[in-house]
Structure 1
Amino acid sequence: MSHLVELRSRLLRAVGTIVVIFFILFLYPGASDIYDLLAAPMLASLPEGTRMIATGVITPFMVPVKVTMMAAFVIALPVVLYQVWAFVAPGLYKHEQNLALPLIVSSSLLFLVGMAFCYFVVFKTVFSFIASFAPQSITPAPDIEAYLTFVMTMFLAFGLTFEVPVAVVLLVRMGIVTIKQLSEARGYVIVGAFVIAAVVTPPDVVSQFLLAVPLCVLYEIGLLVARGIKPRSKEEEKTTTPESTS
């Protein structure tokens, strides 16, 4: 029961932080301004004077609200991760605590870097590439709800892609695989990267290339970092005990 009470307390703090930040953003600078910022890469690729459209009755209200909620979660991510860490830390070994906190910080930063790379590089390149193939007889007018779904999918795809170094380090540290095995699997990783990119990105070569190449590069970075990580030994597991919850 005490663990459930602790879990409830941590969840309330995390959710409360997100809600407070949401209302602050909703009032200032405003949900509409936040959506305009998110839509800037798409608007820059459209013909001059063209705007996005909303086909639903309540879509002009709900889409900016969803975008503001997403922004609030991203801003509150450090607090959310801290609450997760504070809940699980008492049940970890000392050496696991020393590893977990840097991994939590690095994984959150890498996820944000992945989102930033998607927004500033991928969107600008992909939207310009797609617009260049649009026939002169049509005027592109993307729906804002479809655009939000696309953006969230791409943010998630690139955010998770930038977590590859953390995954490699964890696999090596836990002793699941070795550096030699990961190096020998490099060819499969490259093929898998392009397969994943083909599935989660739009059906154009540019976006697939912009996802697959960073995934391969980050895999190599993970291998370099993992070379300095000592795999967990059986003796280490036997000689360490979980921290007290007091």
Structure 2
Amino acid sequence: MLKSARKKEKDPEGRMPLVEHLRELRNRLGKAVLAIVIGGIVAAVYYQDIINFLTHPIQQAVGCSKPFTELAKQSKGACGNITMSGLMGPFTLMIKVSLTGGVVIASPVWLYQLWAFIAPGLHKHEKRYSMAFVAAGFPLFMAGAWFSYHVLPAAASVLIDFTPQGAVNLLPLDDLLDLVTRMVLVFGLSFELPLLLVMLNLTGMISGRRMLGWWRGMIMGVTIFAAFATPTVDPVSMLSLAAPIVLLYFVAVGFAILNDKRRARAADDSDPDEASDLDLTPQDIGEVEAVPVPRALPEQSGSGHDRVNGYDDVT
């Protein structure tokens, strides 16, 4: 009985005191951190498989199959060997890879905890838009990550060709993994730009025709962004990032134009019993009809002695 009496009914609008908000935030952060730790342990078990998966494309593209003594004698065909430095280097790298893998593995858990903390304060339509954003954003991010994973070997082949003849190119594994991670994040987040434009159109902030009018500036801006955002400086990576973003931009413009037409048809098919909007457009003076002047009231018959306290009996 005591426990049931202490339980408070939840506010349907999600309102609660500040202390309750802080307590809920602490609980959800604890669950998210615990999920990341468990995911990190799983990633540590498969650490070697993760390393092989991340480095395999570059190893196939620019890896050397000869020993160092023969590499310095070769005259062409630059390549690189993946290396590690120091006794603590492999252990530090294992911790880093395990934590990163834990964040990725536990992403459904901590994303749900974040959503559960924010959702009570959102309206119904805001929840619908946010769920659609998450549902479309995750596949787009994964598409960008997959694209970067297959573009990086081509970029590595271009960059490795700048190695002077007779020089041995060493590829530190920690730097290589940082490069792969940055490429995945940059490509994945860049693929979210069209989704942002679509969400702005759905909320009525930007029309499809206006978005279409930006196409020249958008192409130039995306190209400049790709030149600075890609960790490598080769044109292959830059064009590989800019081309799909521009394509997705035009897809978002097409969706926005179709959505505007659907919205216009829905407005035309509105209920005829509803009050129409007032036409406040100013007209020419010649088109304005003269307002009829009301006739004056007939004079009251009778003299001033018929008034009571200054008013006649009609009033």
Per the TM alignment, residue 13 of structure 1 is displaced from its structure 2 partner at its CA by 1.7
Check the 8 A contact 1:111/1:159 in 2, yes or no. Answer: yes
Check the 8 A contact 1:41/1:127 in 2, yes or no. Answer: no
Matching residue's letter, 2:59: L
Deviations 1:93-141 (A, max 9, x none): 111111211211221221122111111x211211122234433312221
Check the 8 A contact 1:53/1:143 in 2, yes or no. Answer: yes
The alignment's TM-score, normalised by the length of structure 1, stands at: 0.85
Aligned to 1:33: 49
Q: Is residue 2:189 matched to residue 1:172?
A: no
Aligned to 2:233: 203
Q: Is residue 2:112 matched to residue 1:94?
A: no
Q: Structure 2: which 5+ runs fail to align?
A: 1-18, 67-79, 264-315
Higher RCO structure, 1 or 2 (CA under 8 Å, sep 6+): 1
| Residue aligned with 2:83, SS | coil
Aligned to 2:40: 22
Check the 8 A contact 1:52/1:144 in 2, yes or no. Answer: yes
Deviations 1:201-220 (A, max 9, x none): 21111011101111111112
Matching residue's letter, 2:21: H
Distance (Å, rounded) in 2 between the aligned partners of 1:227 and 1:180: 7
Which structure is larger by alpha-carbon Rg, 1 or 2?
2
Distance (Å, rounded) in 2 between the aligned partners of 1:125 and 1:8: 45
Check the 8 A contact 1:34/1:64 in 2, yes or no. Answer: no
- Figure out how many residues of one structure are paired with residues of the other and give that number: 229
1:12 to 1:205, Cα distance in 2 relative to 1, 3 A: same
Q: Is residue 2:115 matched to residue 1:85?
A: yes
1:20 to 1:229, Cα distance in 2 relative to 1, 3 A: farther
Matching residue's letter, 1:100: S
Which structure features the higher share of helix residues? 1
Check the 8 A contact 1:179/1:223 in 2, yes or no. Answer: yes
- Identity rate, percent: 33
1:223 to 1:11, Cα distance in 2 relative to 1, 3 A: farther
| Residue aligned with 2:129, SS | helix
Q: Is residue 2:84 matched to residue 1:67?
A: no
Check the 8 A contact 2:44/2:94 in 1, yes or no. Answer: no
Check the 8 A contact 1:114/1:158 in 2, yes or no. Answer: yes
1:21 to 1:6, Cα distance in 2 relative to 1, 3 A: same
The alignment's TM-score, normalised by the length of structure 2, stands at: 0.67
Distance (Å, rounded) in 2 between the aligned partners of 1:225 and 1:76: 33
Deviations 1:48-93 (A, max 9, x none): 1463122354222212322232222222222222222111111111
Distance (Å, rounded) in 1 between the aligned partners of 2:167 and 2:131: 52
RMSD: 2.1
